[in-house]
């Protein structure tokens, strides 16, 4: 699935959002949903540690940190990824901007 990606559209004027998948970078699929179902936003980090083994028993640990701004649905533990960020500080700042723009509660 080369050139495929996912994203989100926000339509604040009509109170809707659309989480979509773009297949081959051309065909987008997804449906519009109400922003009323979203009440919280957060900047989060998931830390992945990957081990690789080389010859002569040398171990190399690679630490990769992915940070995201996520939207939370009301009365559920479901998260909608909104934006990928380079570090946790940027994710938290972007979450504050989104919270102010959409009038959402920030989860710490």
Nearest by Cα to 104 from 42, 44, 41, 43: 41
Say if residue 7 is in the same domain as residue 46: no
| Euclidean distance between CA atoms 19 and 70, whole angstroms | 12
Range of the domain at 100: 37-52+61-107
pLDDT at residue 55, rounded to an integer: 58
**Which regions in the chain score pLDDT beneath 70?**
1, 47-65
The half-sphere exposure of 103 on its side-chain side, counting CA atoms within 13 A, is 5
For residue 44, give the 3-state DSSP assignment. Answer: strand
Tokens of 47: 């830390």
Structural domain count, the chain? 2
| Euclidean distance between CA atoms 35 and 21, whole angstroms | 19
- pTM (whole model) above 0.85: no
Place of tokens 């940190």: 65
pLDDT at residue 93, rounded to an integer: 94
Say if residue 6 is in the same domain as residue 42: no
Say if residue 72 is in the same domain as residue 85: yes
């Amino acid at each position: 699935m080369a050139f495929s990606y996912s994203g989100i559209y926000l339509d604040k004027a009509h109170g809707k959002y659309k989480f979509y998948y773009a297949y081959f970078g051309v065909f987008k699929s997804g449906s519009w949903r109400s922003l009323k179902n979203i009440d919280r936003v957060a900047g989060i980090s998931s830390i992945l540690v990957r081990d690789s083994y080389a010859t002569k028993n040398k171990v190399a640990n690679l630490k990769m940190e992915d940070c995201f701004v996520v939207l939370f649905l009301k009365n559920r533990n479901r998260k909608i990824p909104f934006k990928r960020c380079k570090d946790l500080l940027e994710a938290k700042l972007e979450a504050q901007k989104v919270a102010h723009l959409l009038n959402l509660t920030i989860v710490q």
